[in-house]
Amino acid sequence: MKKTIQILQAKKGVEKITAITAYDALFANLFDPYIDIILVGDSLNMSFGGNQDTLSIGIEKMIYHTKAVCKGSKEAFIIADMPFGSYQSGDMALKNAVKIYRQTHADAIKIEGGIERSELIRHLVHEGIGVIAHIGLMPQFARFEGGYKIKGKNQEEAKKLLDSAIALQDSGASMVVLEGIQAKIAKNITENLKIPTIGIGSGIHCDGQILVWSDMFGFFERFEPKFVRKYLDGSSLIKNALQTYIQDVKTGNFPSLEESY
């Protein structure tokens, strides 16, 4: 059954929501039957594009990858990230979100930012765009903030996060991603919202969890954040298989008669 926002919201307090990123049809197709949400995250600019941060990806590339993910997926709820610089005003955000909606089958778009995004999100929701908010550690702000900083470390930050989450909910956001937030602060936010929270590096109390696929399957070797659990040693598996292939080619063991026409 196709996952809708109504189905996902009904899981709050009943059953945890599962989410993962994907950037292409191949992996979307693998994840789709099992997972609630697939996020076409702008993290693809780092793990797929080899860049230092998420800032340089534009709307056209996000649309290209979202189209591919939608082609590979039947049931999961698909979220497309709005890239850096694509939602600097309400009208710009609407124009780009409509572009994503028209050109892909994404079910919602995701926007980074706190209380200051409330009006912009209200504007999008009013025009029929599903919006997922994203607060806490916001990778699009990492350059400005001088790195990837955990949030909610003092009372002022904790209050700001809670106020933001409530304002974003009130402006019509369907869910909120909580990234890099102290677990007890994420718990308090989760308990004070009617909409689900999806955590990444924000502890166990969120309504759901998301991980970047290449991190959790051990393919992204550049750095390993504390919050990532490696469910597969993907890069070792690939390297070993590749070496076996190279060996087989060099020794004439591949292709065999059965693998030839």
- Residues with catalytic function: 179
- Please tell me whether residue 69 binds ligand KIV under the rule CB under 6 A: no
Closest CA to 178 of 221, 157, 61: 157
Look up residue 2 and give its two tokens. Answer: 């196709």
Q: How far is the CB of 44 from ligand KIV (least distance, A)?
A: 7
Among 32, 36, 81, 207, binds ligand KIV (CB under 6 A): 81
Q: Whose Cβ is closer to ligand KIV: residue 21's or residue 174's?
A: 21
For residue 121, the one-letter residue type is I
230 phi, psi to nearest 5 deg: -85, 115
- Please tell me whether residue 17 binds ligand KIV under the rule CB under 6 A: no
Q: How far is the CB of 46 from ligand KIV (least distance, A)?
A: 9
Q: How far is the CB of 15 from ligand KIV (least distance, A)?
A: 20
- Please tell me whether residue 212 binds ligand KIV under the rule CB under 6 A: yes
- Please tell me whether residue 201 binds ligand KIV under the rule CB under 6 A: no
Site size for ligand KIV (CB under 6 A):
11
What is the C-alpha to C-alpha distance for residues 49 and 42, in angstroms, rounded to an integer? 10
Cα atoms found within 13 Å of the Cα of residue 204, Cβ hemisphere only: 0
Span interacting with ligand KIV, options 39-47, 66-74, 157-165, 246-254, rule CB under 6 A: 39-47
Contact letters for ligand KIV, residues 47-66 (x by CB under 6 A)? --------------------
Rounded to the nearest 10 degrees, the angle between the axes of helix 155-170 and helix 183-192 is 30
Window 158-177: residues binding ligand KIV (CB under 6 A): 177
Span interacting with ligand KIV, options 41-49, 96-104, 114-122, 244-252, rule CB under 6 A: 41-49
Look up residue 72 and give its two tokens. Answer: 């590979």
Q: Which residues pair with 136 in a beta bridge?
A: 179
Q: How far is the CB of 124 from ligand KIV (least distance, A)?
A: 17
Among 27, 43, 178, 206, binds ligand KIV (CB under 6 A): 43
Residues whose CB is less than 8 angstroms from the CB of residue 90 and which lie 6 or more positions away in sequence, other chains included: 119, 120, 123, 124
- Please tell me whether residue 80 binds ligand KIV under the rule CB under 6 A: no
- Please tell me whether residue 21 binds ligand KIV under the rule CB under 6 A: yes
Residues whose CB is less than 8 angstroms from the CB of residue 140 and which lie 6 or more positions away in sequence, other chains included: 42, 54, 55, 83, 84, 112
Q: Which residues pair with 39 in a beta bridge?
A: 21, 79
What is the C-alpha to C-alpha distance for residues 82 and 97, in angstroms, rounded to an integer? 8
Look up residue 227 and give its two tokens. Answer: 């919050």
- Please tell me whether residue 200 binds ligand KIV under the rule CB under 6 A: yes
Positions that interact with ligand KIV (CB under 6 A)? 21, 39, 41-43, 81, 177, 179, 200, 210, 212
